Amino acid sequence: MKQLDFVKCLVIICMLFTGIIFAGFFECSFAVQQLDDVVITSNSHSDPDSLTTISITWSYATQNSIDGYYYTLSTLSDYTIVATDEMLNNTADEVNLTASDGTYYFYIAPYKSFPPPLILGSTTKEGPIVVDTTSPGNISVNGPETTETDLISLTIGADEVIDQVCVSESTYGTCGWEDFESPNHEYSLKSGLGQYLLKVQVKDIAGNIGQASPFAITYTTSDQITLATYTSVPTLTEWGFFIFFGMLLMIALISIRRPLSFIYRN
């Protein structure tokens, strides 16, 4: 009888011990499932950038409560971190990634592997991250051929969005960058009356620079335009009329002179 009671007590103790162990594992698993979200604190490419190195920093509320992070840089706009992605320890708070031209998204999640099983926290997404190293192309500049005021309006276009414009009256780049007002950009001629070959450069949002062919414009007054119109050198067509009528006049004189000579002889 005593032996039976001992066995019953032993079974009860084992059951209690097993229950405690399972309860402990359940509690740990529940705690891990409540992992905090990773908070992105900076992104070197919050705007499109020509840098091919992408720097991301983050913070985590309780670093000591996790074993580290899984992360990836992807062209996918929707993704969930898995345990086969890149790994960092729990002291990391920054990563530098190299990428070529394109649009990317950064994903990161905390994890805890001990006690098992491995538990992943929620995935934090950062993006779009745009790497752009290509200069604007197909740059066009249109405007008046002549102007009577120093302030002119230039219509400037390119094969991508223009962020800033640089207009020079001498050489490319000898000017200050100005915000571009699409599509017409106002510019004030600085060198007074005369002929200009404007050198126009444009910059995209990523900071890449492209340049247009020189744009010719003449700054003059209305009086000079009128004077040039009325004192212009005869064209080749006008000279042709002068020569033609001159030849007719000579022929007429010769024709008249011959009959007169005949009359005087007789």
CATH superfamily of 35-131: Immunoglobulins (2.60.40.10)
Write the DSSP symbol of residue 46.
Answer: S
Tell me the residue type at 200.
V
Instruction: Name the residue ranges covered by the structural domains of the chain.
Output: 35-131, 140-226
Burial 141-171 (b: 16+ CB within 10 A, else e): bebeeebeeeebebebebebebbbbbbbeee
Please provide the CATH number assigned to the domain covering 140-226. 2.60.40.10
CA distances from 135 to 50, 87, 97, 144, 204 (A): 10, 35, 22, 27, 8
Digit-coded pLDDT (tens) for 127-180: 999 999 999 999 999 999 999 999 999 999 999 999 999 999 999 989 899 999
pLDDT for 30 beyond 60: no
Q: Is-same-fold flag (35-131; 140-226)?
A: yes
Give the pLDDT confidence score for residue 34 in this predicted structure.
80
Mean pLDDT of 80-100: 97
Give the pLDDT confidence score for residue 239 in this predicted structure.
57
Determine the Cα–Cα distance for residues 179 and 185; give it in Å rounded to an integer.
9
Give the pLDDT confidence score for residue 22 in this predicted structure.
44
